[in-house]
Amino acid sequence: MPLSEFGIIERYFAGRELINPINKLGIGDDCALLQVPEGQQLAVTADTMVEGVHFFAGCDPYLLGHKLLAVNLSDLASMGAEPVAVTLALTLPKVDEEWLQRFADGFLQLAGRYSVDLIGGDTTSGPLTLTVQALGVVPQNGAMRRSGAKVGDLIFMTGHLGDAGLGLKIRQGYDCSDPGQALCRFDSPEPRVKEGRAIRGIAHACIDLSDGLASDLGHILKKSGAGARLWWDKIPLAASVKRYIEETGDWTMPLLAGDDYELCFTVAPENRAKIKIPAACIGVIEDERGMRIEREGRISPLTKKGYEHFS
Ligand code: ADP
Ligand code: MG
pLDDT digits 0-9 by tens, 43-94: 999 999 999 999 999 999 999 999 999 999 999 999 999 999 999 999 999 9
* Ligand 1: lining residues by beta carbon, under 6 Å: 9, 13, 27-30, 88, 90, 118, 120-123
The three-class DSSP label of residue 45 is strand
Ligand 2 mean position, distance from CA 17 (Å):
21
Kindly list the structural domains of the chain, giving each domain's residue range(s) and its CATH number in brackets, ordered by start.
5-139 (3.30.1330.10), 146-301 (3.90.650.10)
Count other Cβ atoms within 10 Å, centred on residue 104. 21
Q: For residues 149 and 203, what is the distance between their CA atoms, to the nearest angstrom? A: 8
pTM over 0.85: yes
Rounded Cα distance, 142 and 275, in Å = 16
Q: How far apart are CA 41 and CA 144, in angstroms?
A: 12
Q: Which residues pair with 33 in a beta bridge?
A: 25
**Ligand 1 atom 5: residue of nearest CA:** 122
Of the CA atoms within 13 Å of residue 4, those in its CB half-sphere come to 2
The bound ligand whose nearest atom lies closest to the alpha carbon of 32 is 1
Which residue from 87, 122, 125 has its CB within 8 A of the most atoms of ligand 1, so it is best to mutate? 122
Instruction: Tell me what pLDDT residue 3 has.
Output: 85
The CA distance from 120 to 9, in Å, is: 9
Per-residue confidence band for 305, with pLDDT thresholds at 50, 70 and 90: low
Give CA–CA dist 165/190, Å, rounded.
15
